[in-house]
Amino acid sequence: MKLISGGVCASKGFKANGVHCGIRKNHTKKDLALIYSEVVGSAAAVYTTNLVKGAPLVVTKNHLQDGKAQAIICNSGNANTCNANGIEIAEKMSDLVAEYLNVSSNDVIVASTGVIGKPLDVTPIKNAMPILSAGLSENAGRDAAVAIMTTDTVEKEIAVEFEIGGKVCHIGGIAKGSGMIHPNMATMLVFMTSDVNITPKMLSKALSMDIANTFNMLSVDGDTSTNDMVSIIANGLAGNEIIDSEGENFDIFMKALNTINIALCKRIAGDGEGATKLLECIVSGANSLDVAKTVAKSVVCSSLLKAAMFGADANWGRVLCAIGYSGADVNVDTIDVAFRSAKGTIQVCKDGAGVDFSEEIAKEILLQDEIEILVSLGAGEYTATAWGCDLTYDYVKINGDYRT
């Protein structure tokens, strides 16, 4: 498994582009992205469980009923959610892709992100399609990554190279997400491409299985978005023997997919709105996987703990508090807690009670930009990891006037 450059264009047969079309008033900010595969591929996606769903999700879910796709279009600056003509606009976006790329509109994944409840005019998208499609390139994956950003401060892309049956294969991905992140069955917007030859059924199974332990273990602010979606197209151009069942080749693909998803989780959490630190809660010693996951996510979701991490305050009582109200079946008397960063590790709790530790050393550890919260439940062999970020003054500033 080797990290490589290229993002969504690292896989064979994929091109991308990102331009400013005019949805955003800021002319220097790209707001329209396009990803294209030379051939139709297997496709899968998972979606937000929020009852209020963006129109693009409804359209995409319908398009992917046959498990096939060839292109992805996404605009930023407007979520196309809670609009009377939202479905019509989303369908028109896919029709434009079909027109300019000579693909079926039913093979287009459509996504939007931005302000909810604001009408989306398709005219800027239509006017930009000639330059967007003509500019498709194997070297423009980063332009697409930038074009899907909203309050993100950095683009998020990654790709890996690996082998299946002697054939060199790739998976690449881009993501956007900074606020309104507390997923359930999906998260933010994530677009992945692969040249692996895999059936739609097994691709969907791989995506659903992995998301349970990656994106569903991520939280920035406790809000599940209306437009969350993770999608992947695998066009088969790597030439490996088709993966149509579980086994060694499926396991290799799963490992590569997991590598991509964990990396994107960390980058999203680290770029949370106003965040200064990536938080990673690693729970061990649980008596079940469900308990481990419940505890880990409860800790990274705690506003009080997130605030303490912002202030580099080793307030370990907030960790136990979050565990206590998580609903998980734990024995408080066997819980250990430690904090770890590039500056070292310090234990702050043993068997549910505080231990003597240096506040000065603890602060030095917690002043780093990546903090691990280590929780041992002392009751079993199951582990889980969740990702989050600190809670800062800037989160309120960003969201206080996000729409206006």
Q: Which residues are catalytic?
A: 187
Reduced to 3 states (helix: H, G, I; strand: E, B; else coil), residue 398 is helix
Instruction: Report CA-CA distances (Å) from 62 to 71, 108, 109, 165, 300.
Output: 15, 10, 10, 34, 34
Reduced to 3 states (helix: H, G, I; strand: E, B; else coil), residue 117 is coil
Say which amino acid occupies 109.
I
Extract the tokens encoding 336: 């250990």
Q: How far is CA 206 from the centre of its chain?
A: 16
- What are the residues facing 338 on neighbouring strands? 347, 374
Which pairing describes strands 278-286 and 108-115: parallel, antiparallel, or unpaired? Answer: unpaired
Among all chains, which residue has been given the structure tokens 């969350």?
A: 228
Distance CA 62, CA 46 (A): 12
Reduced to 3 states (helix: H, G, I; strand: E, B; else coil), residue 382 is strand
Reduced to 3 states (helix: H, G, I; strand: E, B; else coil), residue 284 is strand
Q: Which contiguous run of DSSP H or E holds residue 109?
A: strand 108-115
CA-wise closest residue to 49 among 185, 151, 156: 185
Distance CA 336, CA 291 (A): 15
Distance CA 19, CA 3 (A): 27
Among all chains, which residue has been given the structure tokens 């430690």?
A: 338
Q: Are 322 and 376 in contact (CB under 8 A)?
A: no
Q: Which 8-state DSSP code applies to residue 243? A: B
